[in-house]
A and B are shown apart, each in its own frame.
Chain A
Amino acid sequence: MVEKKDWDWEIESRVIVELLDCPLRYIWREEPKVSPDGEKIAFIINEGENKFSVCQNKTHWEEAYDKVWSLKYGPDGRLSVLALTDEGRWTVVTEQVPWENSFDFAWELQFSTDGSQIGVAIQNEQQYGMAVNDVLWPTLYPNANHFTLSPKGNHSAAVVQTQNLSQGDIFKYQEGVFSVAIDGQTWDTKLVNIWTPIFDHQGKHICAQCRTSLYTYTIVVDGKVWDKEFSSVWRPAFNPATRSCMAPVRIGKKWGLAQDGEIILTPRFYQMWNFIFSPLGDSWAAIVATDLGKWTVCINGSTWKTHFETLVYDITFSPDGQRIAAAGKNKDKWFVLVDDQVWNESFDMVFEPVFSPDSKHLAVKVEKNGAYTYAIDGKVLPHSFDQLWMPVFSPDSKKILLRGITENQYLRAVIPVEG
């Protein structure tokens, strides 16, 4: 794996592939994916006679499969797919090397933060679980959802149905048959429902939303349910510094915030969700609706003055935790919202904002009139692209890697950040 600092950060624009020159050995190609460093572009291709393969930078993979899907570059730049072999079994293929294990079905391909661990949801003989780096869970379950790999990839987890339910057995369901399985091993706790298990940074702990009856919602941490019950909850998060757990909770008809089972922000919002901690854990933020159709951002309990009527989405902390950016929408116009200020221009779509490592700059992929470009610190780049990937800042925050397709060429460019 090439470290980010060792990527090509020279200021230049380089055409990686003239797409039209790609050898026409396929019937069609699917949507392109590009590597994090921008040096590679890949497609799933149909080679005819129901055979599928992958074409990367003009080169075809040697093997073809009955079906290939879920083409993804991991954070380390390795290319993986899910492929159906001649025997009618699914497997993971990374850089053309298939796993030893194969499955009746595989999906939900995911990576650890560094890309070294690859996880996938699997089904064998109607039993469900996960496999990570070609190692299958020892125990599988009648059903599973919310397949999750820890950030380091050292553990994997899913919400599992611990026993079979006969059709229409509503009372057994209400006694609780769901649990969380970690590396295939379930908690002792069984609950009516569990959603969105979240690993802490070390992969040692898990918190999740749960329902203890049809009417009582709360948070479960490592199998232990909070004492307090609420009329609803949304996805919790672990504080990266203290490992305490916080989640938006609903009491009556209003939303507030609870930490480790205690209310720490009195419910007063019409809605409160997409709760996040700053990278150092000293701040938190969430999207809130102060009233019906009045959306804004709430940071450490105080709300911004700016409101949007249609949507606020993709809230993002800067690395130092001092700044927050988000996308806002009024009717069909999207805006970039940063530190309670709205950038002048409106767009047809605003993507997740990206802060520079030093937190001083903000780059946002935006779409206008069917073409994509970046808006950087409020200024829109003059060039636009037919397709464009998310901006990546250089480790010194001085440059941005741009990966885009224009005039049928895939190019990577490094642009300087002004100021």
Chain B
Amino acid sequence: MDDLLADFVAETREMLEASEGEIVAWEADPADSARLDTIFRFVHTVKGNCGFFDFPRLAGLSHAAEDALADCRAGRRKPDSALVTAVLAIVDRISAMVDAIEAGEDFPEGGDEALIAALGNDKDTEDLSFEELKDAGQGSAVEPVSPGSDDIAAEGDAPKKADTSPAVQRSIRLPVDLLDRVMSGVSDMVLARNDLGHRLRQAGNQPTIDGPFERLTTILSDVRDAITRMRMQRIETLFSALPRLVRDLSAELGKQVMIDLEGGDVELDREMVEMVRDPLTHIIRNAIDHGIETPSARLKDGKREIGLLSIAARQSGNTISIVVSDDGRGLDEARIATKAVETGLITASQRAEMSREKVLQLIFEPGFSTADTVSNVSGRGVGLDVVRDNLEKVGGSIKVSSQPGIGTLFTLQIPLTLSIIAGLTVEVGDQRFAIPQSYIEEIIHASAKALDFTRVGETALVTFRGDRVPCLMLSEVLALDHSEIEEDQHTMVLLRLASGDLFALAVERIHSHGDLVVKPLAPAVMKSEIYAGSSLLDNGQPILLLDVTNIASRYGLVSDARTRVREIGDDVIAADRHQVSRAMLFTDFSNRRCAVRLELVKRIETAPASAIDLSGARPRAVIDGMILPVVGLPEGQIPTEKVRLLRLSDGECELLHAVREIDDAVELPGMLKPERDDPLIEAIALIEGSTVALMDGHELFTRHGEPPEPLARPLCRIPSDDWSRTILAPLVVSAGYEIVDGDEDHGDSENAVRVVFVEESSAASEKGDGSVIRLRSELDAGDGDGSIYRYDREALMSALKEARSAGGLIR
């Protein structure tokens, strides 16, 4: 809550700063309607925000000012200098109050009524004099403003600020374009490093260069992380305030609304988060106020009592799309059109030529509102036009689609000013393309029996978790030559769009995951609407980033508001009605048919057998930079080149279950026969006529579950002579260690693997509890003391590997 409050204070201040000039200008010319709009928006936003925070006095003041200004905008009242003064007094009072809120002090009681009365909303303004106003402003900040004064807002701000110096985190403000420049410089540095790395690999192992290069890499990735963090923020910080907002709004309006948030881990520019905050709040307000009906009206229409508001964020190339959908009454085309004609936005003949979609977009026009009653929440014709203005200012856009009686769907597109995104590289027809990771739901090798690739007419379909999902062949989308690979032998990348639709993209091969620095493409290429940008691979080759959303919509795979909302509603209802347990069927390495509850399965991973470390007491594998325990492996060598792994999670701990083959997701029968002999088996189930052992999740996690451990390089301490530094160090690094210099005494290097020379070893150098590898300089000397001849590469490597799995791995 404190964060939110700080945000509110900062936001109000910022707006105050921004409108300072406007206020002065408005004062000079009260008839200037553009200035009036700006100030109106300011008080409107303050009103909205403080309704959320429960600051009744602020709300009262801003509501009164808004009323007066709304009258001016509607032409019911002519702004005069008395009104300007009164409004400015209120703006100053708001500023003083915000200061008090930030300092955590109580603002002196009283005085608000007089300020509100000064607006003369109900009576004649002439009755009020400046003197009265002065008396009203007991707070130190509120002073009558003399026309022509240059720093009105500052007057309100300054005296208060001086004596409030709470312990605020030290920070500085930087122009965003400076950050942009640094960011793009770092991006280029990453590319240059990749290029250099590629050349170094071509030139072979060069220990003297590899060491510094490794260091450069580490430093660069640190710098990049820091810069990225400097600018990026998870959209979660924005989302976290929404449930409360929805709850309060719906309570106030006597409605029941459930909120569904998705994609909180999408990161976007800090500045963009701020830009989206207002628009999103406005849209949510509108949706709850105008969109979602009262519970009784909903029941009458055969809908569920509780309205559903869902907000999903997705990243695609250089844009983020945020979809806000509700299952309310939808937009009324006829009413919007009538209203637009009435207010003179369009003419009747224009109306006749407009499509429904075009008519709906009219709600973003300034001064447009269909609400019959003005409530405290929304509906004064300010809002959607501001939303659109704000988005367009940063190069974004907003669209609306709606089905009467079924729901409304707002799609916001916001650009990312910087873009390093996680992407998957795929291959088709000898060419590589990148897909943004955020869309990828799962990757399935088409050989999986469960996939069931079929063609219905020209449309290809695959089966994913029991549903038929449309499938696009990437080679067809790109009109490339058909490959030698059979149609049903492709690898399927399942992609989920921001609208919630799922489809499969068939590619020939999957290459790698990695961070891509996305650069914009030339307009002529963008026109194809297939690509979202380009990036460079490590070898310096350019690669094209696919625009998943546009590709899907070209093939009509994006549903409109109706199906999206229906789907969710039905799912929820289905879940309410009866709890169906589902399980993932698989065959393990001892050819047993097994099943594991689907809720436990987080993902299906495929890893090369070499990625599984069998040398430790427990087998482990590294997936996505996390070290996870592996169970279910066969004895001895792994028979296949690649291993399919079920990634199981209980929410906190994770483990990998190796399987020979993955079958299908099935519904578990109601009757399960408990199994007592094998603790790892929960029960025996009869599925499709044969018995299947259902794994006991509880036992599995008791025995093997571990919180995933981030992959960190184990430390190795080496002697500090020249030989060790130049000859030994590269070897140790290539064995996956990080070097700690012999002399430095790191606090965390206690567990480091240490390499010492037998000749030089002393009691002091052998303290600590990590493993020790002892080297000797002479080939023949010291046999039998467990030391290794320093040029016996094989023995040295295997000792390093052993030490790593024994102690170095777990820090």
- The answer to whether A and B belong to the same complex is no
| B residues in contact (CB < 8 Å) with A | none
| A residues in contact (CB < 8 Å) with B | none
